Amino acid sequence: MDNYSGDQQHHTSWARRLGFVIVLLLVFGGGTFFGSYFGVKQYVSGDNGQVEISKILDLYGKTRSEDVSFDQFWDIWNMVKAKHVDQPVSDVDLFYGAISGMVAGLDDPYSTFFPPAEAKEFARDLAGEFEGIGAEIGVHDGQLTIVAPLPQSPAEKAGLKAGDKIFAIEGKDTFDMTLEQAVLTIRGEKGTTVVLTISHDGLADVEDVSVIRDTITVPTVNWEMKEEKIAYMRLNYFNETTWPEFDKAVREILSAGAKGLVFDMRSNPGGFLQTSIDVASEWIDSGVIVSERFADEKSNGHQSRGKHRLSGMPTVVLVDGGTASGSEIVAGAIQDYGVGTIIGQQTFGKGSVQDFQVLPDGSALKLTIAKWFTPKDRAINGEGIAPDVVLDEMFVTHDDGSVTDVGVEKAMELLTK
């Protein structure tokens, strides 16, 4: 969610802002360390340029807070180092654990500190490939929840659905797990199995579901032309490959002479904020796409940009309970400007913005820095977007095993009548 210009926004950088789901600033001992601050980096680095824990720890005497005494922290540090049964105790593990605990103290499921190995894994996610079950998870009403299984993923094949509650992973209660701890527990090598204790509807039908992990490559965009020159486009995610794939699909759809568009963002968990702004801008000639509001109450309105190639294109947008974050930004903007009809089910309600940065040692912090609002100043966080046309069912399974996509059928009906 940094402000980029031109095509540079779609390239990998050391700092990105995410809408999911989808952010670094390290606060320790009352002091604030930014990896880009040369003075601090120089102070805490050894001759080889690597960060040395001992030098970071020495900063505590120079960064004391007037409101908080860190004597107790250091007393406990020393007791753990001296008395814990498993010796030696790693300074690095204690240091990263202390930072993780500090961020957990925010009581924000979307703010997390990543030690170097976990930060590397998270970066792989953003690139669109990892090994796991292929499901986006979040926290809804205080409970770990499936936001959306990816199409054709092990999670989808195992029967997991958007909105499923996860009560345990491999028999371990998820009540006190952080979001990232849950993700790392679910992750694993291709071919191995993870058991999730889930419920599709409250506590009445709790069951164990075994999912075989696989390599997950996230397909972001696909499209096809349906009858009467109505194009159908599926957008699965807003990651590093989304914009070039979306741009290519729009060019092909227009070249094929499409007269209308079914834009499917069901089970789209979001991703990069800037990409969602660019996607929404294709329908909206001018005006604010989304506004961010920060802790200091300042607001940043992101204006429409780009070529607006879908402006005037009759459009129906499909959403459901797995539509979250960046996809809610797009749906909210289209709805507020009246340039398309939103149909389906209430969206997830992830209306916060995370900033992701990396420290010199490879660790990183994803931190919620703002909440976002639609062009008509609607707050989405915890609320979601109500469709213009509500569908009680998205899919109907018939006796012969065939499945009817009610959402697509209704969208086609609206565009062809």
Residues forming the active site: 325, 336, 350
Q: What is the DSSP string of 43-67?
A: HHB-TTS-B-HHHHHHGGGGS--SS
Amino acid, res. 139: V
Tokens 């505590």 belong to residue: 60
Tokens 């409970």 belong to residue: 143
Scored b (16 or more CB within 10 A) or e, 339-377 reads bbbbbbbebbbbbbbbbbbbbbbbbbbbbbbbbbbbbee
**C-beta contacts of 187-190 below 8 A and 24+ residues apart:** 187/121, 187/130, 187/131, 187/132, 187/213, 188/131, 188/132, 188/213, 189/131, 189/213, 190/131, 190/214, 190/215
**C-beta contacts of 167-170 below 8 A and 24+ residues apart:** 167/143, 167/197, 167/198, 167/199, 167/206, 168/196, 168/197, 169/194, 169/195, 169/196, 169/197, 170/194, 170/195
CA distance 179 to 368: 14
Question: Do 26 and 99 form a contact (C-beta atoms < 8 A)?
Answer: yes
CA distances from 244 to 82, 236, 275, 282, 326 (A): 55, 14, 10, 14, 17
Q: Where are the alpha helices (DSSP H) in 91-176?
A: 91-104, 116-127, 154-157
Token digits for 330?
């797009």
CA distance 317 to 327: 10
Give the number of other CB atoms < 10 A from CB of residue 250: 22
